Amino acid sequence: MAGGGFVGADGGAHHYGGGGVTFSVVVTSLMAASCGLIYGYDSGVTGGVTQMDSFLSKFFPEVQSGRKSARSDPYCKYDNQWLTAFSSSLFIAAALSSLVASRVTKKIGRQAIMLLGGAMFLAGSIVNAAAANIAMLIVGRMILGFGLGFTLQAAPVYLSETAPPKWRGAFTSAYNTFVVIGILSATITNYFTNRIPGWGWRVSLGLAAAPGVIIIVGAFFVPDTPSSLVLRGHPDRARAALQRIRGHHADVDAEFKDIVRAVDEARQNDAGAYRRLFSKEYRHYLAVGLAIPVFYQFTGMIVISVFSPVLFRTVGFNSQKAILGSVINSITNLVATVLSTFVMDRTGRRFLFIIGGIGMMICEVAISWVMAGHLGKHQGVTMQRSYATGVLVLICMCTFSFGLSWAPLRWVVPSEIYPVEIRSAGQAISISVALCLGFAELQVFIALLCAMKYGVFLFYAGWLLIMTIFMAAFLPETKGVPLEAMQSVWTRHWYWKRFVRDTKQGSQINNVNNN
């Protein structure tokens, strides 16, 4: 298969050696993407466990008794800061560890970071399953968070650095596919363990060890990325790794030279990566790299993902049906994510961001309207079953829009836009901002639901309007562009071109391997 070439902003050629989608790159990418199981299982298991009677009676008896009170506000049944801390503490630990991981990655590589993250997740799951008090729960959750922070730092960038440029979106979004598989696995687990009186929650939390073991085993079978190996002074191993993932018959000489040249430039500017990230020269990378994780948190979907069983209990479903509703929602998410994998590298990133944002906005306005008109009305603290089912359908529609767009693209775009000299720092900043906001959002969501009631979904819908306009105006299209030639998309953008150092702003990307 012929190789491809791009003319970058500097007028130089950037090459891709071809070789197609090989068995090696598929296996390697699947192993790395399986790190998403950690994030997904934890997100899925938490919301189900927090509304289980066996879990609440053990750790939060006041929530269980208050929930059964006929005089309780339907929006405030789960308003307990320690209960939300159980969910959110993982995210603040993950934010801290992701910053540490960015520096450690330069020393030991992305493969070792994934291995370390899997080991921490395994340890945290054991502590949670054996928890005898709230303190043990929080400690276990923070150990899980450290593992999550390490894998979040390594896996998406690993995928973007090894995938063929033409299909980088599909390969990188595989991480999100495994996130959704983890969520679905957790909700199905909760559905069955909820029937076990007294200790069913221990099984749900303890089975988080399974994705930890998968990551540990998988990390032993994948090589480090060529860029990471070159950066750590192993050019021979880097070339062998590139040849392996591109195929034995592919000509990788030109692509390898591009990688070496990019890494050499990175070494010359190695000191002060975080400082340079905030300079004018890199302002366009930082703006988009931060906007995506910030907006991602304000889609409202992270709280729907984690607290969907709680929301379904709030509108009137019993515990088993609330978890079943989460299973249906997770299946919807998986279908949308798989569909996104097939269309992302054809439609482009911007189109999916816009379509997904509009879809979520309409659904969240509709959810707010239904809850405003029917929750707590008609002499009841919940709502009529037909309207509760309507909320379930709307949440599934919202999740479908999310799974098609923001869910996978949240990982794809930040992992591909940064140049190699600031890639680890940029990824660390993006992840840390997202995790810090995730911590804050999960910690306050139940309180917001209690205070703002149905208006909380209008709050998220307003943010969706803002972020959709931003993506339409300020996100350059990156599909099919090699990482080493990514500067070219910024030089052609109507706004960001003023921040690009190179003055050859009118250069065009010539992709000779489009088809």
- Contact predicate 280/60, CB 8 Å: no
- Contact predicate 28/222, CB 8 Å: yes
The pLDDT of residue 72: 60
| Secondary structure (DSSP) of 94-137 | HHHHHHHHHHHHHHH-HHHHHHHHHHHHHHHHHHHHT--SHHHH
**Residue 252: CB atoms within 10 Å:** 24
- Contact predicate 42/208, CB 8 Å: yes
Among 141, 164, 147, 137, smallest CA distance to 60 is for 137
The pLDDT of residue 68: 60
The pLDDT of residue 123: 93
Among 41, 282, 258, 53, smallest CA distance to 165 is for 258
* Res. 177 pLDDT band, cuts 50 70 90: confident
- Contact predicate 415/156, CB 8 Å: yes
CA dist 318 and 324 (Å) reads 10
How does strand 4-7 pair with strand 13-16? Answer: antiparallel
Tell me, what amino acid is at 413? Answer: V
CA dist 384 and 142 (Å) reads 39
State the average pLDDT over residues 435-452. 81
* Res. 514 pLDDT band, cuts 50 70 90: very low
Q: What is the b/e burial string over 436-473, where b = at least 16 CB atoms within 10 angstroms of the residue's CB?
A: bbbbebbbebbebbbeebbebbeebbebbeebbebbee
- Local structure of residue 250 (DSSP, 8 states): S
| Secondary structure (DSSP) of 429-496 | HHHHHHHHHHHHHHHHHHHHHHHHTTHHHHHHHHHHHHHHHHHHHHPPP-TT--GGGTHHHHHTSTTG
CA dist 338 and 459 (Å) reads 29
Q: Kindly tell me if the per-residue pLDDT of 20 is higher than 90.
A: no
* Res. 66 pLDDT band, cuts 50 70 90: low
Greater confidence, 443 or 41?
41
Q: What is the chain's Cα-based Rg?
A: 23
CA dist 398 and 387 (Å) reads 16
Least confident of 343-352, 412-421, 498-507: 498-507
* Res. 244 pLDDT band, cuts 50 70 90: confident
- Contact predicate 140/128, CB 8 Å: yes
Question: Which 3 state secondary structure label does DSSP give 405?
Answer: coil
Q: What is the b/e burial string over 492-513, where b = at least 16 CB atoms within 10 angstroms of the residue's CB?
A: bbeebbebbeeeeeebebebeb
- Contact predicate 141/90, CB 8 Å: yes
State the average pLDDT over residues 499-506. 50
Beta bridge partners of 13: 7
pLDDT digits (tens, 9 = 90+) for 366-408: 999 988 887 766 555 567 788 888 889 999 999 999 999 998 8
State the average pLDDT over residues 244-248. 79
CA distance to 125, 408, 500, per residue, from 349 (Å) = 35, 10, 21
Greater confidence, 160 or 327?
327
Tokens 């639901």 -> residue:
449
Q: Kindly tell me if the per-residue pLDDT of 11 is higher than 50.
A: no
* DSSP run (H or E) holding 81: helix 81-108
Residues 6+ apart with CB under 8 A from 221: 27, 31
Greater confidence, 158 or 410?
410
Beta bridge partners of 14: 6
* Burial category of 250 from C-beta neighbours within 10 Å (exposed 0-12, middle 13-18, buried 19 and up): buried
- Contact predicate 47/126, CB 8 Å: no
Tokens 């999550």 -> residue:
148
- Contact predicate 420/225, CB 8 Å: no
* Res. 70 pLDDT band, cuts 50 70 90: very low
Q: What is the b/e burial string over 346-362, where b = at least 16 CB atoms within 10 angstroms of the residue's CB?
A: eebbbbbbbebbebbbb
Structure tokens at 355: 């379509």
Question: Which 3 state secondary structure label does DSSP give 6?
Answer: strand
State the average pLDDT over residues 152-167. 77
Greater confidence, 480 or 73?
480
Question: Which 3 state secondary structure label does DSSP give 51?
Answer: coil
- Main-chain dihedrals φ then ψ at residue 5, nearest 5 degrees: -140, 150
pLDDT digits (tens, 9 = 90+) for 129-144: 999 999 999 999 999 9
- Local structure of residue 381 (DSSP, 8 states): S
Angle made by CA atoms 417, 40, 443, in degrees to the nearest 5: 90
* Res. 336 pLDDT band, cuts 50 70 90: very high
Among 479, 429, 187, 143, smallest CA distance to 304 is for 187
- Contact predicate 42/142, CB 8 Å: no
* Global pTM value: 0.74
The pLDDT of residue 205: 92
Question: Which 3 state secondary structure label does DSSP give 4?
Answer: strand
